């Protein structure tokens, strides 16, 4: 527990200044964090064969090209370009043609493309959100943190019914419900009083609840990845907490969910 607390304090002491400064300092922080996340992806030995150094380098180049694509877009939804997605796909598919030792097959190529696009797009969206409105980004972070925290606390105190035991044995239905309720109330109040009150409160509550539920699904999805790869954590970069993807699992789904929901809302309002 002591190690976990110290790691959390150190992480907070690093992340908060970068978040408040935004701009280049935040981008540098995301660059380092995204690089560590990339290593965690390629280290998943059960999900794919071991990639050669050449493929890992090509993959990393494509990955970072997506992470830093169009960060100065005038509007957040004008982010990643089709050209960048096309470059990534071609960079990672073409080497499979010349594979003679069955080490980088088409299956491995598609696996790497999928994981790179999912994770790199997430980091790209993080920076676009921060550039557009850092307090909006904080709203999404609050949903993830509060939902996870109270789901764990209430689950430990009164949790009796397992949620999905074959994926995450410690998660309970009671914890999930409590996490969703508190993870909806507090971020909703924050959004209405800090981000903007120019929004229908019913829409805001429904959106926040949906994002809280998506965050829990994100947590479960990444837990399943770990279970399939027979690992406890993606890495040990944060002692007591695990790796980068261990900390950003629920936020990944929340960020993607927000982009989908806000586009739907903008269509009808």
Residue 28 has pLDDT above 70, yes or no: yes
Binned at pLDDT 50, 70 and 90, residue 5 comes out as low
Residue that has been written with the tokens 């059960």 in this structure:
46
Q: What is the pLDDT of residues 183-221, one digit of tens each?
A: 999 999 999 999 999 989 999 999 999 999 999 999 999
The residue with greater pLDDT, 25 or 143, is 143
Rounded Cα–Cα distance for residues 148 and 247 (Å): 10
Model confidence pLDDT, tens digit, residues 215-242:
999 999 999 999 988 888 888 887 767 8
> Which residues lie below 8 Å from residue 193, measured CB to CB, with a gap of 6+?
none
Place of tokens 């907070």: 12
Answer for the pair 37, 119: CB distance below 8 angstroms, yes or no: yes
User: Does 122 have pLDDT greater than 90?
Assistant: yes
Query: What would the pLDDT profile of 55-81 be if each residue is shown by its tens digit?
Result: 999 999 999 888 888 766 444 445 577
Distance CA 59, CA 175 (A): 38
Question: Residue 118 — very low, low, confident or very high, per pLDDT cuts 50/70/90?
Answer: very high
Residue 249 structural domain = 2-268
Q: Rounded to an integer, what distance in angstroms lies between the CA atom of residue 85 and that of residue 62?
A: 9
Residues 120, 68: Cα–Cα separation, whole Å: 9
Give the residues across from 172 on adjacent strands: 162
Predicted local confidence at residue 74, as pLDDT? 44
List the structure tokens of 129. Answer: 């959100």
Residues 6+ apart with CB under 8 A from 109: 92, 93, 95, 96
pTM strictly above 0.85: yes
CA 24-28-30 angle, to 5 degrees, is 115
Q: Pick the residue with more confidence: 265 or 250?
A: 250
Token pair for 112: 């790497």
The tokens describing 131, both together, are 């550039």
DSSP H helical ranges for the chain: 2-21, 23-42, 53-67, 82-97, 106-158, 173-190, 201-228, 244-268
What is the number of structural domains in the chain? 1
Is the separation of the CB atoms in 36 and 244 below 8 Å?
A: yes
The DSSP-derived string for 47-80 is TSPPPPHHHHHHHHHHHHHHHTTTTT-SSGGG-S
């Amino acid at each position: 527990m002591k190690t976990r607390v110290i790691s959390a304090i150190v992480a907070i002491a690093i992340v908060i200044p970068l978040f408040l400064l935004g701009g280049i300092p935040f981008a540098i922080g995301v660059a380092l964090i995204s690089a560590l996340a990339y290593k965690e992806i390629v280290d998943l030995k059960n999900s794919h064969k071991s990639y050669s150094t050449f493929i890992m380098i090509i993959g990393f180049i494509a990955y970072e090209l997506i992470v830093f694509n169009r960060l100065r877009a005038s509007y957040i939804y004008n982010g990643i370009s089709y050209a960048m997605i096309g470059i990534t796909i071609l960079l990672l598919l073409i080497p499979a043609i010349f594979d003679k030792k069955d080490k980088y097959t088409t299956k491995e190529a598609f696996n790497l493309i999928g994981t790179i696009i999912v994770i790199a797009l997430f980091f790209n969206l993080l920076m676009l959100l921060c550039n557009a409105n850092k307090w909006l980004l904080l709203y999404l972070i609050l949903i993830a943190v509060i939902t996870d925290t109270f789901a764990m606390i209430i689950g430990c105190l009164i949790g009796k019914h397992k949620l999905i035991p074959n994926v995450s044995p410690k998660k309970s239905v009671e914890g999930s419900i409590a996490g969703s309720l508190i993870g909806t109330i507090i971020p909703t109040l924050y959004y209405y009083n800090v981000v903007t009150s120019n929004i229908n409160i019913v829409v805001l509550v429904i959106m926040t609840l949906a994002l809280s539920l998506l965050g829990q699904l994100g947590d479960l999805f990444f837990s399943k990845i770990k279970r399939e790869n027979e690992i406890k954590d993606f890495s040990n970069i944060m002692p007591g907490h695990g790796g980068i993807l261990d900390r950003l699992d629920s936020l990944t789904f929340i960020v993607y969910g927000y982009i989908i929901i806000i586009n739907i809302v903008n269509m009808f309002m």
